[in-house]
Structures are given as C-alpha cells and as structure tokens.
Chain A
C-alpha cells in the first residue's frame, strides 16, 4: 500500500466516543466525519476539551470508537486485532507529539532508528534511512547527540525525522508546536508539512492555536465533540486578522 494510490488516506465516518465514568457517561465525540487525501494537510482546531485528543486516539487506533468507523488506506481499523493494529500503525502512521516523546538518554540517530528496528529492517538499511531522515530535517552533525543535549526545536526535528523515517502514508501531529516558541514552531510546521506534501503524505494536525494552521489546506473547527465549521486557508487568514492572531477562544472561527 502506498500513499499515492487513489482514494483518501484517512476516512472517519460518523465517529462517536462516550466514556463511562462514575459521574455518568461523558460524550467526548459526536458523529464526526471527514477524510484526508494524499498530500493534504488537514488541521483540527478547537479549545481543550473539544474532543481533539479523543479524535486523534480514535484515528490512530489507540482507542476504539463507540460508534462509526475509521479507515486508513481503505483498511477499517476495527478489523485489526491488537497485534495487527500495532504493526499497521508502525508501518503506515507517523506520530509527532507536543512533548517530543524521545528517549532522553539516547542519541538522535538511535531515536530515529527505533521504528525501523521494530519492523525488523536490516542494519544497513536502518543506518542509511536514519542518515537520510536526519539530513532532511537539518540535523547533520547532531546525530550522536543525546536528546537531552538538543534544543526544543532540535528535539522536535528528531521527532519529525522519526515520524517520517518509515515513510508513512499518514502523519498525526498532536500540538507539535505547543512546546516551542513561535518562530521555531513555524519552522517545524513548514518542515513537516512541506516534506509530507512533497512525498504525497497526508497530515492530520491537531492544535488549539490558529497560528499552527498556517500550512493547512483545510481547517476543521471543533467544539463540544463536533466539527462545527470548516475553513479554507483564506477564511482562516481573515479570521486570524479579525481576531488579531489569537488562539481559538478569541477568533471568529470558534465562536
């Protein structure tokens, strides 16, 4: 399977999620449907508690929906058992997180090598692919540095390299700039989105900040577990302009 085939990389249809808790049922997601085509960057933006993280957990197969279906590359995730789902995720989905999720005691190169090793690739190929991935994010010369010896921006570059090293069809980014200053964050987004677009990969970017949607082709606005609006880049710019560059709370898109 490759990202360049016909059809959507990610299809979510009628997704719902209800959590049971002592205080009663909590509906985190209601009837959410959307798709992401190859080479497209789709941003999901909304305040905390709007259901973004739940959505991300469902589309990555880390959690199961109470209703609806997720298909990645045409494969319904619900049909995979736990082991097959782990393999599928490793093979086809790259993750970028807010807090980088690197192993701090290990070098940049080793962190990037892990997904390849998990898939059992031979060392020669692992070494070559890691070198290419670190080159692509501008970290040549920093390969042997431990994660803790890198700056925040460099750590996120390592995380981007790790997400892309398996050449996944889909990249899921959860607040990838949330822990970076705005200039560094913008560089990381450009790197992630441009590299993905060039390789015809799909990106689903989840964020609470409109600023982080600069490279998105489509912006889905979430509130109270639903997609309440879809914006084009032009509409986003206008919304940002009206709100003076504020986050979700102050912009026209979310209110």
Chain B
C-alpha cells in the first residue's frame, strides 16, 4: 500500500477524518526506520512518486502488541471550552451566556453535519465497510451530543444566576419595592 491509498482507506472508514498523504508518508518513513515497514520500488509511470510499503514481521508483532495494549483515555480535561468557561466565570460573567450560545450553535451545526444516519438493517450478519464507517460516524455524533448536553447544562445552571445578578444591577426594585426579575424566555 502506498501513502495515498492509506489516506483514502482511512477517510473511507473513519468518519470526519481528513488525512494528507504527505503526513502519512512521513509516518511510513519513521516506521521504515524502525524496521516495522519496508519500502518497495515504485512502479514506473504517472504514479511513480507513490512508493508502496508493506509490513514486516517485526511490524506485525508491534501492531498486534498495540492492538491488545490497554487504551489510556486521552486528555481528560484539557478542553479549550472548559478552560474558557472557567476564566469567563471568574473574569467576565457577562460574556458567559453569549459564549455558550455561540458554542452551542457551532456544535449543533457540526452534529447536523455528521448526519443522523438511519442505516439499513443488513442481512447476512457481516461486518462490512458500511457498518464500520457507520460506527466511526456514531463516535463523532455521540461526542457532539455530549458537548451539547454539557453546554445546555451550563446554560441551565448559569442563566438564573446571571439573570438575577443583572436584575439587581439594572433595576434594583420595581414601583412596589420588590425585586424585579425579568421573566426571560430561554433562547436558542
């Protein structure tokens, strides 16, 4: 397989992924230096810059080791949105709602872009490429749904607090001397 083939296979099977073949070639060369893959001579012709690689037996062993190794969940809370939220809460609460609502719209659009696939039931019970692509697409969709759930949760918790603070600053009391709370409709 050459780098371009690797990139297009990954794009076909892993939803939302974009891979450039230069990066893939760089990776393949690193693996070749470690003896995990070996490069062959490209065939002459229009695609002579597409150098095919194949896996070595050391590469196969390393690959099997990697597949069976336990997975360490990546970056638990190094999420930009969470960090921004923390800073906005401390330094600029007036921006919070606008920030979350903008973020919410971005995620809604991204979720829509992943497509809510109503996949057909497949007869024969085989794991075909369409099913693989569907499962990797589901990973994207469910992550977007989780983001949206978090944002909605933040908005639900923050809106009353911020509305109350705003009411106290802008209109401390109404004519009858009670605290005025604007009955604000939640917006999207």
Contacts and interface: CB of A to CB of B under 8 A. Distances in A.
A86 B119 CA distance: 12
Task: Give 9 closest A-B pairs by Cβ, nearest first.
Answer: A117-B112, A19-B123, A118-B112, A62-B120, A57-B120, A21-B124, A63-B120, A105-B149, A114-B112
B130 to A, nearest CB: 9
B148 A106 contact: yes
A22 B124 contact: yes
Nearest to A111: B116
Interface residues of B, number: 21
Interface residues on A, range: 20 to 34
Interface of B: 105, 108-109, 111-113, 115-116, 118-121, 123-125, 145, 148-149, 152, 186, 188
Interface stretch (A5-13, A40-48, A95-103, A180-188): A95-103
Given A19-B123, A114-B108, A117-B112, A109 B118 contact: no
A113 B124 contact: no
Nearest to A172: B118
A26 interface: yes
Given A95-B118, A106-B152, A114-B111, 13 more contacts: A19-B124, A20-B124, A21-B123, A22-B124, A62-B119, A62-B120, A105-B152, A106-B149, A110-B148, A110-B188, A116-B112, A117-B111, A144-B186
A41 to B, nearest CB: 21
A95 B120 CA distance: 13
Contacts of B108: 110, 113-114, 117
Contacts of B186: 144
Nearest to A119: B112
Contacts of B105: 123
A53 B121 contact: yes
Nearest to B185: A144
Nearest to B119: A62
